[in-house]
Amino acid sequence: LYVDMQGGNRNDIPAINAVTSLLSDQRVSIKQRIAVDFYGKYQIQPIIEVTDDYNTYDLVTAYQIFREYGMGDQLVEYFKEKGEKNDIKVADAIKKISDAIKVCDVDAFDTGLGNLDSAIGESRDNKKETTELNFIINQIEADYGELLSDARYESNRPLKYVKQIRWCIKKNFIQQAVTIFEAKMPTEFVWNGLCFYCNNLDKREEILGKFTNIFNWYKENKERDIYKLKDLNHFWIRDYSNYKKDCSSPITLDYYYGKDKDSYRNVFSRYKEICDMRNDVSHPSGRAKKGGFYDLVYRKNARENQHSRDITVRIEECLKEFERVVENIDSSKIDSVIDLA
């Protein structure tokens, strides 16, 4: 379609944009928007193209979708049409975060935050004037906050994943929050000294050797479960105890209790409880008693909203208790912990 944007009441313009936006879902594209460059002294008024002027509506809509639902496809499409190299780099970083959110890929989300932070830095360095992208960047920085600054650090950044979990809950990305909680809280436990397998550089090679022996044992005896060793912290806290006797390669589990041993134990018991809740929903076929998966889904749907509230409340309680425990641990002890993951 070619759309005449000239004349009429000012209120007509938002209505026209709303209609054309709906038409795009029916494979109708807007080729050009046309207006008149009106000047009263002229008898004949020049016709001009104003397509780019109205693209701002598309930008705002695309950003709102990304902000509310984590879906960045429309933002990517918008900036790629502009064709500027720095814009495309930021758009690609947005796309990777968007894709990671969609499929709950914890590591890809983490990497995507780092890529986005780098792309934003490069874009700012190379641009002197204010652009549409600057507007979006300002909004993203306000929205993602410390998640971007934490992504600049490749090594351990205590409470990094706690912030990601809370950000997901705030955005109502419940499944993503639970996935990060289950996958990355073991790393937080190690980074913050709640438990550790190495706090002495002289023993680093010895402990890595033991992990290698465990890997080889899995390869020979339980190859289908070998993926569990992808993240050593997660494996060690969630799965190692299940195979410790079989592996016959003991790795000592050490703790810094701080001042409150009960709170320390509560953190781990809450973590396990929430992980079990998550697995009941994500992998229900082996746990539902009567009708397997469909029976569990049927029963779950009736209380789905309550389930979401329950699990987010439990996660927040666990995180608060975790932070209280960390506050009571000597920082010098935390610094001595070596993460081998």
Q: What are the pLDDT digits (tens) for 97-147?
A: 989 988 889 989 988 998 888 888 887 777 666 677 777 888 888 888 888
Burial class (CB in 10 A: 0-12, 13-18, 19+), 147: buried
> Confidence band (pLDDT; 50, 70, 90) for 293?
low
Report in angstroms the alpha-carbon separations of 160 from 29, 154, 156, 250, 298. 43, 11, 8, 30, 36
Q: What local confidence, expressed as pLDDT, does residue 288 receive?
A: 46
Residue 296 clears pLDDT 80, i.e. is over it = no
Q: What local confidence, expressed as pLDDT, does residue 322 receive?
A: 92
Average pLDDT of 224-235?
A: 83
Query: Which phi and psi angles does 121 have, rounded to 5°?
Result: -60, -45
Residue 319 clears pLDDT 90, i.e. is over it = yes
Query: Which phi and psi angles does 131 have, rounded to 5°?
Result: -130, 175
Higher-pLDDT residue of 332, 3: 3
pTM of the model as a whole? 0.78
